[in-house]
Every structure is written in structure tokens, then in C-alpha cells.
Amino acid sequence: MTRDRGAIRGWAVVGGGLVLLAGAVAWWWEQRAASFALPGRLPVDRVVAELAAALPDSRQAPLAPRRGLLASAGPRDALIAPPGSRLPLRLRVPAEAVLAFSVGVEGDGAKDRRAAGVRFRVLVDGVERFARVVNPAARRADRVWFDEQVELSGAAGREVEIVFATDVAGPGTPAGTPGWSGVRVVERHWRARQPADPSTPNVLVLLVDTLRADRLGCYGAVPSPSPTLDALAARGALFEQNVAHASWTMPSTASILTGLYPSAHGVTGDRGQTLRDDLVTLAEAAEEHGITTVAVSTNPLVSRGTNFAQGFETFVELDIETRREGGEVVKTPASASAVNDVFLRWLRSNRAHRFLA
């Protein structure tokens, strides 16, 4: 946060185990990236085709791919495709089109250098346009989802065949179960970025899961464990009467991002549900006006896998650390300081832009 942006103007909302704070502050980007530079113009993507339903099912594909949840770093709805699968798809390509998808391999969390990786490939009219080998048994860094893109604008206006292929990469038993997730075609447009200016403040939304209101000083906790949030509340507007739209994370967060009741946005059930592409999110509304968007999450329920990243130009999912204790797998989310570090490094490179974080 910088003092030359003017006084903090913000609000706090508490309800349903969620604390939401927003104001004229700053935030975010990729935790491993050395550079957080963004292109001069703001890319705005609109989904024109969700391809999961168009991909062949087990009756059509030779190695019986199936749909289901696949956990890499957080569960995602995926097309589970055993090595050797070939998933063909014919598509008429719109202008400024980008093929977006994620690849991941679900292993058992154990290290095994003898295990073979899985090679993912995307071929467009027989030409390889993407390839990546994922081996979670050999490399801890591969125990995540990899979000990828293939430019299709060169094929605009004509029909192409896209093939999604998986193969064993090397000798040995495959390191786990491979899957494709979030396969879609988006049409990309460009907007001029709004510059940072004291008259048009930035917006920071801080979402803390399972935090009760009475555990914050501004809501009566003594002694207060939250002096910084208390100071923000004292200088801004504190809402004392709040009702959450739901009693757990996914539907409540979906309502925050869309402004809709759970009955309207549809995220009401268990894990595996995703936010619909046709809904307009807070981030998408901001981007349409040239506001740069960024988000950092340590919660797999607020992730690309649940499509809560929709509209954010930069979305960073911090790894969940997995270790074994007494024969059991223990998972630990990243700390708040890790979130802050990512955001502040992003901010150092992008403070010239007005942003929603």
C-alpha cells in the first residue's frame, strides 16, 4: 500500500464464516515468476465454446476417457484420459481465438524416480502446438495443475481438427492418472489500461475463510488480534449487520464474485461444481472498463478448478504443501505472508495501473 494514493476508503463485511474487506488499497501475481510485467493493453477474454461436453466419451474414444474429479493441487472437474488416449475434436475457429486448458497428473504423493511421466500434446490439423511432460512422482513441482494456452487466430474462419493426446514418457509405470480440465475456446479483445490516479482508487478484496466476526477487534474481540483491520474499519465504514448468502465457502464466494443468490449462480452443491462461464464476475466487469485485475488464493475451493478465476488477468494459486506424518498425508495451505509476498512483488511492477485485487 502506498500513501500517495490518498486516504484509505473501505468497508468490511462479515458473515457465513467469511470476512470481506475492500478499499482503496493494492494487491498480487505469480509466486514463482521473476518478472510481473503485463502487456501494454489489457486482454479481455470471453468464452465462446466450452468443449468438455463436445469431447468424445468412453463409447467413442479407444482408451475409455471418463469425466470426474482429479486432484493435482486441488480437485478439478476433468476429462480423465489414460496414456495412449486420442481425443479428437472438430471446431470452426472464431477471430482472435485462444484454446485454453489445464493438464495435471494425480499421483499418490510418494516420490518414485523410476515412475514414468505423462506427455500431454495438442495437435491442430496434425501439427503439434503444445507438449508438456508431467511427472509428480519425480518432481514435486509437477504436483499442480498447469494452465496452458494455444493461439488459434491463424486458423480464424475455418474448421480445424484438434487432437488432445496423452502418452507414457519413458520406461516404467506412469506416475499417476492424467486429465484435461477447463478445455474451452475464448475470443480475446483488448482494452486500454486505466492508469493509477488518486481520483479513481484501487480496490482490494481480502477474503478470509472460517473467520468469525467476534474474533476481530473491530467486532469486539478483547484483546484485539487485528490492529491493522481495526484501523481500516475505524477510518472507513464498518457494517454491523450482515447476512451471508450461504453457510460455506463455494456458494458464498460465488455470490461475492457475481452479486447473485446461490439459486441464480447455481454453485450450491458439493466439491466438483464450477462457476458457469456465462455469468459476469466482478473481475470481468472491471476488465471491461480497463481496470487491471489480479488474485492470489491458497484455497482450492477458490481456484481455476472451480472457475472462480474467471475474468482475472493474473490468478495465482499457491501450492498446498503435502507431507507424510505417521503414515497419513497431511496438507498445509500457504501462509498469509506468502500471499502478501506474491501481491507486493506484483504491485512493484504494476503500480502504474489502476487495479482490482
Place 79 in a pLDDT band, splitting at 50, 70 and 90. confident
Do 252 and 185 belong to one domain? no
pLDDT at 95: 86
The residue with cell 481455476 is: 304
pLDDT at 272: 63
pLDDT at 51: 74
Residue-number span of the structural domain to which 339 is assigned: 3-40+193-356
Label each residue of the chain as H, E or C.
CCHHHCCCCEEEEEECCEEEEEECCCCCCCCCCCCCCCCCEEEEEEEEEECCCCCCCCCCCCCCCEEEEEECCCEEEEEECCCCCEEEEEEECCCCEEEEEEEEEECCCCCCCCCEEEEEEEEECCEEEEEEEECCCCCHHHCCCEEEEEECHHHCCCEEEEEEEEEEECCCCECCEEEEEEEEEEEEEEEECCECECCECCECCEEEECCCHHHCHHHCCCCCCCHHHHHHHHHCEECCCCCCCCCCHHHHHHHHHHCCCHHHHCCCCCCCCCCCCCCCCHHHHHHHCCCEEEEEECCCCCCCCCCCCCCCCEEEECCCEEEEECCEEEEECCCHHHHHHHHHHHHHHHCCECEEC
Integer Cα distance of 63 and 81 in angstroms: 8
Integer Cα distance of 178 and 55 in angstroms: 16
Weakest-pLDDT range from 46-50, 72-76, 178-182, 238-242: 72-76
Using the 3D structure, point to which of 191, 220, 246 is the last residue of a domain: 191
Return the CATH number at 185. Answer: 2.60.120
Rounded mean pLDDT, 254-264: 94
Place 122 in a pLDDT band, splitting at 50, 70 and 90. very high
pLDDT at 53: 61
| Candidate ranges 108-112, 123-127, 243-247; pick with highest mean pLDDT | 123-127
The answer for residues whose C-beta is within 8 angstroms of residue 204's C-beta and 6 or more apart is 10, 21, 22, 23, 24, 25, 26, 27, 357
Q: Is the pLDDT of residue 203 over 80?
A: yes
pLDDT at 228: 94
Using the 3D structure, point to which of 191, 222, 240 is the last residue of a domain: 191
Do 165 and 265 belong to one domain? no
Do 332 and 197 belong to one domain? yes
| Candidate ranges 276-280, 283-287, 335-339; pick with highest mean pLDDT | 283-287
CA 317 to chain centre: 6
Q: Is the pLDDT of residue 28 over 80?
A: no
Integer Cα distance of 215 and 270 in angstroms: 28
User: What tens digit of pLDDT does each residue of 43-75 get?
Assistant: 998 888 777 666 655 444 444 445 555 555 556
Q: Smallest Cα–Cα separation from 301: which of 256, 264, 243?
A: 256
pLDDT at 22: 40
Do 256 and 341 belong to one domain? yes
Place 306 in a pLDDT band, splitting at 50, 70 and 90. confident
The mean pLDDT value of the chain amounts to 82
Contact present, 22 and 203 (Cβ < 8 Å): yes
More confident residue, 245 or 292: 292
Do 19 and 57 belong to one domain? no
pLDDT at 58: 44
pLDDT at 73: 53
pLDDT at 61: 43
| Candidate ranges 8-22, 41-55, 78-92, 320-334; pick with highest mean pLDDT | 78-92
Do 167 and 305 belong to one domain? no
Using the 3D structure, point to which of 162, 191, 220 is the last residue of a domain: 191
Burial call 54-64: b when 16+ CB within 10 Å, e when fewer:
ebbeeeebeee
Share of the chain above pLDDT 90, in %: 45
Do 99 and 159 belong to one domain? yes
Do 167 and 59 belong to one domain? yes
Do 186 and 197 belong to one domain? no
Do 204 and 351 belong to one domain? yes
Share of the chain above pLDDT 70, in %: 82
Rounded mean pLDDT, 1-17: 34
Domain count, the chain: 2
More confident residue, 146 or 29: 146
Q: Is the peptide bond before 83 cis (omega within 30 degrees of 0)?
A: no
Q: Is the pLDDT of residue 131 over 60?
A: yes
User: What tens digit of pLDDT does each residue of 283-293 get?
Assistant: 999 999 999 99
Place 153 in a pLDDT band, splitting at 50, 70 and 90. confident
Does the pTM exceed 0.75? no
Query: Can you say whether residue 114 is alpha, beta or left, with left for phi > 0 and alpha for psi between -120 and 50 degrees?
Result: alpha
More confident residue, 108 or 103: 103
Q: Is the pLDDT of residue 279 over 70?
A: yes
Do 211 and 83 belong to one domain? no
Do 133 and 203 belong to one domain? no
Rounded mean pLDDT, 304-326: 83
